[in-house]
Amino acid sequence: MDTTEDIFKRATVKGVADYLLYGSLLDKDERNYKERMDDTYHKYERLIKQCDEKVQHNLLDLAGEIESVSASVHIEIGLQAGILLILDMFKNMTIEQESARSLRNREKRDVE
């Protein structure tokens, strides 16, 4: 199974709750988004400076393309996972409402 399917399988309210309760924080990174991106970019930039100018230009272009495609794919996956979470939440709410309605109906019958 691929990673995307695994993400979508865990995109449930229970999946998020389980992660929040039991998930691993071993690779916790305290840096903000900008710091993490800048650090990675600067590592790449230092490596590229070791190449000749023509190769530098090609590598920078390719890195930009990779970043663009990667960002787009990750946004799509995030949006789909978010929608799956919303659907799971609605499903859970519906089950709770039906359960409460059923309990009220039973209580009415018991009173009669």
Q: Does 95 reside within a domain?
A: yes
- Report if residue 41 sits inside a domain: yes
State pLDDT tens for residues 1-26. Answer: 577 787 778 788 777 777 777 776 55
Residue 28 has what pLDDT?
Answer: 67
Q: Is residue 26 part of a domain?
A: no
Kindly state whether residue 54 falls inside one of the protein's structural domains. Answer: yes
Question: Tens of pLDDT along 47-104?
Answer: 999 999 989 999 999 999 999 999 999 899 889 988 998 998 898 888 888 888 888 8
pTM score of the predicted model: 0.60
Position 39 scores a pLDDT of 94
Tell me whether residue 27 is in a domain. no
Domain count, the chain: 1
What band does 27 get if pLDDT is binned at 50, 70 and 90? Answer: low
Whole domain around residue 10: which residue ranges? 3-21+33-111
Number of Cβ within 10 Å of residue 60's Cβ equals: 13
